[in-house]
């Protein structure tokens, strides 16, 4: 049976979106997702996202398979794309549509803004080692500028969970980082029992940083929403950044705020439809 899909991207972080609202079971398997995400022999994407029926009174449920077939807890750019996809499915205008979406990282609430951007309440960051999880520090301690050995070099890292694990390190020149070499070493380091996403951050000013990312299960991507959020939190924890900043990724900028009022993290950025098709 043919399955209709729509491809979206958030700052170049691209996804295959499938309308799965009639079933709580994803329409394709992780193995099929790997084939579809292949950029030479498939559609090409960083992951496949399913819009499933809501749970516990929420509007919808989001599940995602990465390009390697693994299933992450959440995806920041992906949930913006999902919100735009849902608005298109429902035939609503992109005004103030707001959704409560159940994810493996908790309930997220993306809102479509008047200017076409999508603002997402990403929730409270988790800061204790046991929550991330990582064994760099005792479970009840924060991981702030802790040393780790990777490819024969000591890196000071700060770890944050935005529902999924992130390891952030601050560098002088983010363009000089050989992501394809260093990224896999961080992702699979034994101190991260569930592997980790890794962000390399160059602080230009307190409200503007440059970021490159190696995503767990996807490799080098042009943008990572949860990573941008985690990086801003890490910048505040280490005294490098203000609580609101522009995080500039290879695919473009995201606006991130770690609210001093409610301690929640808010991400604002675009979600663009690319094309539609059928999988036979």
- pLDDT tens per residue, range 180-212: 999 999 999 999 999 999 999 999 999 999 999
Contacts of 263 (CB under 8 A, 6+ apart): 124
pTM beyond 0.85, yes or no: yes
Identify the active-site residue in 75, 81, 159, 229: 75
Coil, strand or helix: which one is 84? helix
How high is the pLDDT of residue 116?
86
Identify the active-site residue in 37, 159, 167, 224: 224
State the Cα–Cα distance between residues 198 and 31, nearest whole angstrom.
25
**Terminal Cα-to-Cα distance of the chain (whole angstroms):** 6
Find the mean pLDDT for residues 10-35: 97
Please answer whether residues 223 and 212 qualify as being in contact, where contact means their C-beta atoms are separated by less than 8 angstroms.
no
How high is the pLDDT of residue 243?
98
Among this protein's residues, is 75 annotated catalytic? yes
Q: What are the tokens at 245?
A: 């900043």
Find the mean pLDDT for residues 130-146: 98
Among this protein's residues, is 224 annotated catalytic? yes
Beta partners for residue 169, in sequence order = 157, 200
């Amino acid at each position: 049976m043919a399955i209709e899909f729509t491809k979206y991207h958030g700052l170049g972080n691209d996804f295959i979106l499938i309308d799965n609202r009639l079933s709580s079971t994803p329409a394709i398997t992780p193995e099929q997702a790997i084939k579809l995400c292949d950029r030479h022999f498939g559609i090409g994407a960083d992951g496949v996202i399913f819009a499933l029926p809501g749970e516990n009174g929420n509007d919808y449920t989001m599940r995602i398979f990465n390009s390697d077939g693994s299933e992450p807890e959440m995806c920041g750019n992906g949930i913006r794309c999902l919100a735009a996809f849902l608005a298109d499915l429902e035939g609503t205008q992109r005004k103030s549509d707001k959704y409560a979406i159940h994810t493996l990282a908790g309930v997220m609430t993306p809102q479509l803004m008047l200017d076409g951007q999508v603002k997402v309440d990403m929730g409270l960051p988790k800061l204790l080692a046991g929550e991330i999880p990582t064994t760099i520090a005792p479970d009840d301690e924060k991981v702030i500028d802790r040393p780790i050995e990777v490819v024969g070099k000591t890196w000071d890292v700060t770890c944050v969970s935005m529902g999924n694990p992130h390891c952030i390190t601050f560098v002088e020149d983010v363009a000089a980082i050989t992501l394809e070499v260093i990224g896999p070493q961080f992702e699979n380091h034994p101190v991260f029992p569930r592997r980790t996403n890794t962000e390399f951050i160059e602080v230009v000013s307190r409200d503007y940083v440059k970021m490159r990312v190696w995503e767990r299960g996807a490799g080098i991507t042009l943008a990572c929403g949860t990573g941008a959020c985690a990086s801003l939190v890490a910048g505040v924890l280490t005294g490098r950044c203000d609580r609101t900043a522009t995080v500039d990724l290879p695919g473009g900028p995201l606006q991130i705020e770690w609210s001093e009022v409610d301690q929640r993290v808010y991400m604002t950025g675009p979600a663009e439809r690319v094309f539609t098709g059928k999988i036979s």
